[in-house]
Amino acid sequence: MITRIVKLSFKDEHIAEFKAIFEESKQKIISQKGCQKVEMLQDISAKNIFFTYSWWDSEEDLNNYRNSALFAGVWAQTKVLFNDKPMAWSTEKLNEAL
């Protein structure tokens, strides 16, 4: 399982717009082959910083999504709202405690 973590920083006036884009897109993303879950988190002190997490069965599934028309459309809408360069990581879980 691959977890994709993306850190996004927005201009304050675009926060509501980003939340709307995520709300509109999340079910489309989760319906992509191999996507198990998507989440959006907001920093508690810097309200313009968000993290998206998505869980994928494989790196191939993630890359297929990243090369899809859906991703291109969502990214085109989102990237114009940034106030800083986004950062992204693809990770694998090594350990867990519950």
What pLDDT does residue 84 have? Answer: 95
Instruction: Read off the pTM.
Output: 0.93
Domain layout of the chain by residue ranges:
2-82
C-alpha torsion sign, points 91, 84, 78, 49: positive
What pLDDT does residue 79 have? Answer: 94
pLDDT in tens, 28-78: 999 999 999 999 999 999 999 999 999 999 999 999 999 999 999 999 999
Q: Which two tokens stand for residue 85?
A: 């360069």
Burial 25-53 (b: 16+ CB within 10 A, else e): bbeebeebebbeebebeeeeeeebbbebe
- H-helix segments, 1-98: 15-30, 59-66, 69-79
CATH 3.30.70.100 correct for 2-82: yes
